[in-house]
Amino acid sequence: MNTAGTCSQPSPISGLGLFATHPFAAGERIAAYSGPLTDVPPTTRDGSTPVYALEVSPGLWLDGSPADNPARHANHSCQPNAELIWHGPTEGAWLTASHPIAKGMEITFDYGFSLAESLFQPCRCGSPECAGRIIAAPLRPALRRHLRFSRPRD
């Protein structure tokens, strides 16, 4: 697994983040997102442990919770510098730089949450483009319209 160019450390976005220990060029693979494949969405019993689940195809989940998966610490951003790409069961999922990433930068990607998922997931990415909720980029305009029209009026 290629993780030599990353480290996990406290993030201003949330908890631990994934940071570049050397520069990455656009299109370069950063780290594998690894874990067992399952046909049941990974959950926690007590709700206190984070869930690092990735739905790679309908009904097929990648459970990224194992400690040997440092890519699980990559946070969401509304202006991400990486994307998580599923290459199939043999190659797995990889965080790949979508823009050049300088040494020391936090590595982020769009979690791609649906509108329903976003309602319970506030976003703290700090981007000027932040929608205030963790939601897939194509859905952000609809969320902004919804929030604009659902505000109390004078």
Domains, the chain, in order of start with CATH, read 6-110 (2.170.270.10)
Q: Computed from CA positions of residues 130, 55, 49, 5, in that sequence, does the dihedral angle turn out positive or negative?
A: negative
User: What's phi and psi for 83, nearest 5 deg?
Assistant: -135, 150
Distance CA 14, CA 95 (A): 18
| d(C-alpha 48, C-alpha 37), whole Å | 22
pLDDT digits (tens, 9 = 90+) for 62-97: 888 888 898 999 999 999 999 999 888 888 899 999
Work out the average pLDDT over 118-141: 88
Report which residue type is found at 44. Answer: T
> Which element (helix H / strand E) includes 113?
none
Q: The pTM is what?
A: 0.84
